[in-house]
């Protein structure tokens, strides 16, 4: 019921402010990408993706936001970033209100949450669509208390089924030095069984290299831990290489929505090249193994992206 009230409230605000938006400038940005992906099990395919973000101020410090997202697949079994069985999606999948005041930002509406310093607990940012894959209705508040940055989330998943689970999290982080960031996260996932999580993360910048890591644990009876460590290195202004090692047990992240692969361990390898400030090539390879049965597989992806 609370979710319906929140959704209705946001929808009402959007409706009431449509005339105001039409009278005010609308900020537009977005991205387009083309990806070739080859998976060990499912073969290969191409993924074409487009997102368009719009924002318009409707009152001092208050803006309306929306996102249109589309993705097409040449092979419906490879690279799907949205729910269902179709090979194409195109819809408005994020919308709501943004409020900024006194150094604190509020995002109220449908959004794709990220929880943890590396998204080890939960990361829906790479997915599209109005249903499943982590999309949620809620509020995200970010600000500072003294030297500590605070990131709070209260949301409810927008799932296809009858059950929309609730997510609560708070992350605190601070910089003891300019190069070092320390963070800690507490989270709760309210589903058929309520599960509590905690995580600690760290990142350190040393010249052209950035080192990062995160560890998470839940109060589940088994398979309750996760970790990821990595390093990225800027070869020059246009080229960066990176590697991550991870192990994420099934109950060590929230609903399988980790940045990494839930129920697996392995390595991510990547290389990024910037042709211009807006156009880039991204290469990615993963070598991973299931934690339950030991089965191994690999995946390769080459992506050309353009931001506007």
Per-residue pLDDT of the chain (308 residues; tens, 9 = 90+): 444 444 544 554 455 445 555 568 999 999 999 999 999 888 999 999 999 999 999 999 999 999 999 999 999 999 999 998 899 999 999 999 999 999 999 999 999 999 999 999 999 999 999 999 999 999 999 999 999 999 999 999 999 886 889 999 999 999 999 999 999 999 999 998 999 999 999 999 999 999 999 999 999 999 999 999 999 999 999 999 999 999 999 999 999 999 999 999 999 999 999 999 999 999 999 999 999 999 999 999 999 999 99
Beta-sheet pairing, 166-174 with 180-190: antiparallel
Of 24, 80, 17, the residue nearest 49 (C-alpha): 80
Of 220, 308, 293, the residue nearest 263 (C-alpha): 293
**Domains identified in the chain, total number:** 1
Q: List the structure tokens of 37.
A: 């992906």
Tokens 């101020």 sit at which residue?
A: 57
CB-count burial class (<10 Å; 0-12, 13-18, 19+) for 206? exposed
Q: Say if CB 67 and CB 94 are below 8 A apart.
A: yes
> Per residue, what are the HEC states of 108-153?
EEEECCEECCCCCCEECCCCCCCCCCCCEEEEEEEEEECCEEEEEE
Q: Say if CB 200 and CB 120 are below 8 A apart.
A: no
Q: Say if CB 36 and CB 49 are below 8 A apart.
A: no
Q: List the structure tokens of 306.
A: 């353009």
- Specify the 3-state DSSP secondary structure of 19: helix
Q: What is the pTM assigned to this prediction?
A: 0.90
Say what the pLDDT of residue 97 is: 98
- DSSP calls for 165-222: -EEEEEEEEE-SSSSEEEEEEEEEEESSS-EEEEEEEEEEEETTEEEEEEEEEESSSS
- Specify the 3-state DSSP secondary structure of 291: coil
Structural domain containing residue 186: 2-307
CB-count burial class (<10 Å; 0-12, 13-18, 19+) for 168? middle
Share of the chain residues as helix, strand and coil, in percent rounded to the nearest 5: 5, 60, 35
Q: List the structure tokens of 8.
A: 């209705």
Say what the pLDDT of residue 23 is: 62
Of 52, 51, 87, the residue nearest 72 (C-alpha): 87
Q: Measure Cα distances from 26 to 53, 55, 175 in Å.
A: 10, 6, 35
Helices (H) and strands (E) in the chain, counts: 2, 18
Of 105, 33, 100, the residue nearest 61 (C-alpha): 100
CATH number of the domain residue 176 falls in: 2.40.160.10
Q: Say if CB 260 and CB 248 are below 8 A apart.
A: yes
């Amino acid at each position: 019921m609370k979710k319906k009230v929140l959704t209705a409230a946001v929808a009402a605000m959007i409706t009431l402010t449509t005339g105001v938006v039409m009278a005010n400038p609308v900020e537009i940005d977005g991205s387009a990408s083309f990806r070739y992906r080859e998976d060990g099990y499912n073969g290969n395919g191409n993924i074409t993706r487009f997102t368009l973000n719009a924002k318009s101020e409707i009152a001092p410090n208050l803006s309306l936001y929306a996102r249109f997202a589309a993705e097409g697949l040449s092979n419906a079994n490879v690279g799907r970033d949205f729910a269902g069985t179709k090979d194409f999606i195109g819809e408005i999948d994020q919308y709501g209100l943004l409020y900024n005041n006194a150094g604190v930002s509020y995002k109220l509406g449908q959004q794709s949450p990220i929880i943890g310093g590396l998204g080890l607990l939960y990361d829906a940012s790479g997915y599209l669509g109005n249903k499943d894959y982590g999309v949620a209705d809620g509020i995200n508040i970010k600000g500072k208390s003294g030297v500590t940055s605070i990131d709070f989330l209260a949301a409810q998943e927008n799932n296809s089924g009858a059950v929309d689970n609730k997510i609560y999290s708070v992350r605190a982080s601070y910089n003891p030095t300019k190069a070092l960031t320390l963070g800690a996260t507490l989270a709760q996932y309210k589903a058929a069984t309520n599960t509590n999580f905690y995580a600690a993360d760290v990142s350190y910048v040393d010249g052209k290299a950035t080192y990062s890591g995160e560890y998470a644990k839940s109060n589940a009876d088994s398979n309750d831990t996760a970790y990821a460590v990595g390093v990225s290195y800027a070869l020059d202004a246009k080229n960066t290489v990176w590697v991550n090692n991870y192990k994420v047990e099934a109950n060590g992240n929230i609903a399988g929505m980790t940045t990494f692969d839930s129920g697996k361990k392995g390595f991510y390898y990547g290389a990024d090249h910037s042709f211009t400030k807006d156009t880039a090539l991204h290469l990615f390879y993963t070598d991973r193994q299931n934690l339950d049965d030991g089965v191994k597989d690999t995946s390769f992806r080459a992506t050309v992206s353009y931001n506007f």
